[in-house]
Each structure stands twice: as C-alpha cells, then as structure tokens.
Amino acid sequence: MKALLVGEYREGKLQDNIYELVAFAGKLGADVSMALVGDAANVPRCNGTLHLADVAKYGEYNPGLHRDLILEAVKKEDPDYIVFAHSSYGWDLAPRVAAKLKAAQISEVIGLNDGSLEVGCCNAKMRRTVKPAAGKAVVTLQAGAFSFQGEQGTPAVVALEVAGAPDVEFLGYEPAEAKDVDLTKAEIIVSAGRGVGKKDNIPVIAALAKAFGGELGASRPVVDAGWVEHSHQVGTTGQTVSPKLYVACGISGAIQHLAGMKKSDFIVAINKDKDAPIGEVADVLVVADVLQFAPALTAKLQG
C-alpha cells in the first residue's frame, strides 16, 4: 500500500501538519511519498521521496496549478491514498484532485479501525467506518487526530513540474478577526462543558481557572448556548490548543473538542461519567460532580 502525502507551505514556512499525515500513513502501514509546493530550505524531515515544486514559480496557492502538480506526483507514484490535512488548503484541493482522478473522497478522517477509516457523524457524536470499494482514495485528516512523535530522516527530493500559467492571482493572506482571548498562548486552560449545567455556573469554572493562573475555555455546546463567548471555544471550530495543563470540567469529549486539545501536555478531566470519551485522552479522570469538586479545588489552590 502506498500513500502520497500533500504538504502545505504558507508565508515561507512548511506547516507542521505534514507530520500528522506521516503518522496516519504509519498507522495505515503505507509506504510514504510526499508532494509539496515550497522550497528546498523547508522540507519535511521524513523518510521517503519528496516531489518538490518551486513555490517561486507556482505560487503559495493556485488551485489549478497545484491540482495539476499533485496529479503529476500521483502519476509518478501511483498511490492508493492521496492524503491532505483538513485545512483551507486541503479541503479546497482534495475535491479537485478526486474529481480529476474519479476517485472516492473521504473528508475529516479521525482514526483507523482495522484498516478502515473512521469519520465523525451525527454532529460528531458518533463514528462510522468507511473504506473505498476499489481504486484510489483522496482523504483529508481532521486536525489533531493523528499525533506524530518525532522527525525522521531526510527525504530524497525530486523536482516536480507541470506546464501552464497561473489561472488566478494570489494576493496573500488576510488575518482572521482578532480574538478577545488567544488560548493558543495559554499555559493553563480550564474549560467548561455542558456538564456545568447552566450559564449561572460558569463563574465556578472561571474561578478555578483564575486560581490556577490560567484562562477560561469552553466546549462548543457551551458557546452555542450563549454561556461563554466564542473567543473561548476550544475545538476544530474554535481554537486548537496545546497548554501545559488542560482541565476539562463537565466535558464529555466530542471528537471535535478532543481534536482541539489532545496535544496538551497534561489533561485532567472532571466528569460524573467514568466512561465519558474524555477519559480516553485524560491523564487523570476525576469521577465527581464538577460543581462540588471545582469549588473545593479552587479553595485548596487559594489556601
């Protein structure tokens, strides 16, 4: 089995999500090759062949040319899987490549189950397994679903070229609207989930965050309910974080939330349900009523 991993190059830098693709290929048991529109000074530290297109010639993003470059790499490698990160780059290019190849496309893969691909369904509350019936498959991987443990060697670099001129003009990147809270820089995050019960109980979790010297985070249901501002949301539709300590208060552990915080150095979960999915990634699972445990812990920290 072979997998072609498509890297991303943005504002002069290789994006680290290439290593998540490498982790996926490793779990799949696939031989790896890579394709990247970038430069020789910024290449993945991975084993395998890297098909490298010159970013100065093809631009940091150009849908038509980048699609054709990936298809050229596919022609040379004949992979079973063409793998993208589920990012703005990946979700725009993946269907273009799949359409040209007349291949299956599977979006936001979150895991592997005996060789089959796992994807979220029912608003990410359940998982289902899928497997292409035949031929090639184009997949995108949910951010944080596959964690790479370290860099490998240096790839064998070969030039990747196609004929043609840019069909759009790339103007650059427009930064997202500034957030009230930048959780990506926080060393400690204490997040509130639906298990806190109601908006009036959010101050209990905020007090614990303050006692830790950290920031208040929240799961999507809490934000959707209007209990906490969106700038505090952790998850694939909020902020992806990796603090030294993450405390999940009354959070069951929906797939999209786990993807946004599972890279935290140490995870403590407080939940009445000992079988809550959050326990799968937590270093410590406290089985307790969060509205009783959190104030007691706050008092201990302050005392």
The distance from CA 214 to its chain's CA centroid, rounded to whole angstroms, is 23
Q: How far is CA 295 from the centre of its chain?
A: 33
Q: What is the pTM of this model?
A: 0.74
Paired with 53 in beta bridges are: 37
Task: Give the pLDDT of residue 179.
Answer: 59
The angle subtended at Cα 256 by Cα 251 and Cα 262, nearest 5°, is 70
The 3-state DSSP class for residue 203 equals: helix
Which 8-state DSSP code applies to residue 280? G
Tokens of 230: 């969106």
Number of neighbouring beta carbons within 10 Å of residue 205: 29
Give the architecture-level CATH label for domain 183-302. Answer: 3-Layer(aba) Sandwich (3.40)
Domain range annotation of the chain: 2-159, 183-302
Q: What angle do CA 294, 298, 302 make, to 5 degrees?
A: 175
2-159: in CATH 3.20.20.70 = no
Q: Which residue stretches of the chain are H helix?
A: 18-28, 55-58, 63-77, 88-101, 202-212, 220-224, 255-261, 290-302
Q: What is the DSSP string of 131-187?
A: --SSS-EEEEE-TTSS--------PEEEE-------SS------PPPPPS--GGG-S
Task: Kindly tell me the sign of the dihedral angle through the C-alpha atoms of 53, 57, 63, 69.
Answer: negative
Instruction: Give dist(CA 117, CA 127) in Å, integer.
Output: 10
The pLDDT of residue 123 is 63
Annotated binding residues, written as ranges, equal 194, 219-220, 233-237, 250-257, 271
Mean pLDDT by 10 residues, the chain (303 residues): 95 90 92 95 92 93 94 96 94 96 91 86 75 88 77 89 83 70 89 95 97 95 93 85 94 86 92 92 95 96 88
Rounded Cα distance, 43 and 41, in Å: 6
2-159 against 183-302: fold identical: yes
Contacts of 159 (CB under 8 A, 6+ apart): 51, 52, 53, 54
The two structure tokens encoding residue 249:
């208060």
Cα separation, 198 vs 226, in Å, equals 10
Which residue ranges make up the annotated binding site for FAD? Answer: 194, 219-220, 233-237, 250-257, 271
Pair type for strands 137-141 and 188-192: unpaired
The pLDDT value recorded for residue 176 is 64
Question: For residue 164, how far is the Cα from the chain centroid?
Answer: 33
